[in-house]
């Protein structure tokens, strides 16, 4: 069984500052993947970043990076130089390599203040 927990229902950050969104997970899979998706008010689900569990190196995509702590089952998202367009709901998600079930957390609503 897979579970994903996002303990911060809401976060806020000043424009140009850095913010970290938390996520913890649990899975029985030995081979699994972790994702952060962004959902702006337009309702689209946009992939932000992806991490393979077998890779020790933390994934980065421009201003977005993760801190993947496998032993602690923690997968936090860091957004650097926050922009107004980063304001959205952010979902952490987990899937096992051998199954098709993508399990989502309940989301963190990020507000970016000018």
Partner 1 sequence: NAGVTQTPKFQVLKTGQSMTLQCAQDMNHNSMYWYRQDPGMGLRLIYYSASEGTTDKGEVPNGYNVSRLNKREFSLRLESAAPSQTSVYFCASSGGTGAGNQPQHFGDGTRLSIL
In the complex, the residues that contact partner 1 under the rule CB under 8 A are: 4, 31-33, 35, 42-45, 47, 50, 91, 93, 95-107
Question: CB-wise, 63 or 106, nearer to partner 1?
Answer: 106
Task: Output the smallest distance, CB 102 to partner 1, in A.
Answer: 5
Task: Output the smallest distance, CB 15 to partner 1, in A.
Answer: 27
Quote the CA–CA distance of 29 and 112 in Å, as a whole number.
Answer: 36
Quote the CA–CA distance of 94 and 32 in Å, as a whole number.
Answer: 7
Question: CB-wise, 63 or 101, nearer to partner 1?
Answer: 101
Task: Output the smallest distance, CB 46 to partner 1, in A.
Answer: 8
Beta strands in 1-114 (DSSP E): 3-5, 10-14, 19-21, 24-26, 32-39, 46-52, 60-61, 64-69, 74-79, 88-96, 102-104, 108-113
Question: CB-wise, 66 or 96, nearer to partner 1?
Answer: 96
């Amino acid at each position: 069984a897979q579970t994903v927990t996002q303990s911060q229902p809401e976060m806020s950050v000043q424009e140009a500052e850095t913010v970290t969104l938390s996520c913890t997970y649990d899975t029985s899979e030995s081979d699994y993947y972790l994702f952060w998706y962004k959902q702006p008010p337009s309702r689209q689900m946009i992939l932000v970043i992806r991490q393979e569990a077998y890779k020790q190196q933390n994934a980065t995509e421009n201003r977005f990076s993760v801190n993947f702590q496998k032993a602690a089952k923690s997968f936090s998202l860091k957004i650097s130089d926050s922009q107004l367009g980063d304001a959205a709901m952010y979902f952490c998600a987990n899937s096992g390599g051998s199954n098709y079930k993508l399990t989502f957390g309940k989301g963190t609503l990020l507000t970016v203040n000018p």
